[in-house]
Amino acid sequence: MDLGLNGKTALVTGASRGIGLAVAQTLAAEGVRVVGVARTITPELEKVAAATVAADLSTREGAEGVVDAAISEVGGIDLLVNNVGAGDASGMSLGGVLDVPVEQWESVFALNLFSALWTTRAALPGIVERKGAIVNVSSVNARMPTGSPMAYGEAKAALTMFSKRLSEEFAPQGVRVNTVSPGVVGTSLWKDPGSFGAKIAESYGVSQDDLLQGLPGQLGTASGRISEPEEVADLVAFLLSDRAANIHGADHVIDGGTLKFA
């Protein structure tokens, strides 16, 4: 299927690994000139990106600056993927509302909500001019916060609503905005030592491998497995393409059937 993306430009945040890297790779394979943004640029990202920008997207200055850098590198932005999220697992507590410090709420919202707000506001004038498309990567935790770090599900719920607001305002101007909400995905967030997955495994007193193997059953995932980054990237690429020309303001869940109600 020709997605009609060849020759387009895209800004992808959180692009050094996981879902963001898979999105950058998928778009590049479709002929998109990708500007990949991350705090740390990896060789894998450099291999597929037309340009890379190292930035801290949890700050307004960092988020707005990457848009200027991207425009300078590729001449303008057709497509925006606000993927950066989660956060540093070492600084996240799994406690309850009264246990988790306010600083965690502030840092999680900065990275998972405000980074998308700041980046989108900076990029929108050019995207409107080019009648481009935006995909924001949210999470099923926007609908089921239990099991996620405090503030994460709340921030993702706000991101999903922000996407809907964007669509309502800018669809009449030819800009498509949609959200992709993955469930558990086989990324470093779950697999790396010291990651969120490692913290969860430790809290349950099981190995990380046992946790990942048991998660689909514990979550009631209909497919019996977690998703892979490339599967999420394919969905993102489709939503950015002309093949999805009349899909506006929708939240697309990819979780193997974990959520039982929309």
Out of 55-59, 143-147, 196-200, 218-222, least confident range: 196-200
Computed over every residue of the chain, the mean pLDDT equals 91
* Active-site residue flag, 152: yes
More confident residue, 202 or 64: 64
pTM over 0.85: yes
Q: Which of 109, 114, 118, 152 is catalytic?
A: 152
The answer to whether residue 262 is domain-embedded is no
User: For 149, which DSSP code?
Assistant: P
Strand order in the sheet with 79-82: 51-54, 33-38, 9-13, 79-82, 133-137, 176-182, 251-254
CATH code of residue 43 = 3.40.50.720
- pLDDT at residue 211 in the model: 80
Residue 62 is assigned to a structural domain of this protein: yes
Domain range for residue 81?
9-185+228-254
pLDDT band at 213 (very low <50, low <70, confident <90, very high): confident
> Is residue 65 in a domain?
yes
In a domain, 154, yes or no: yes
Q: Does residue 141 fall inside a structural domain?
A: yes
In a domain, 144, yes or no: yes
Cα(155)–Cα(139) distance, integer angstroms:
10
What is the C-alpha separation between 181 and 184, in angstroms, rounded? 10
- Asked if residue 204 belongs to a domain, the reply is no
Using H for helix, E for strand and C for coil, what is the string for 114-143? HHHHHHHHHHHHHHHHHCCEEEEECCHHHC
Give the pLDDT confidence of 75-117 residue by residue, as tens digits: 999 999 999 987 555 566 666 788 788 888 899 999 999 999 9
Query: Is residue 259, in this structure, part of any structural domain at all?
Result: no
What total of structural domains would you count in the chain? 1
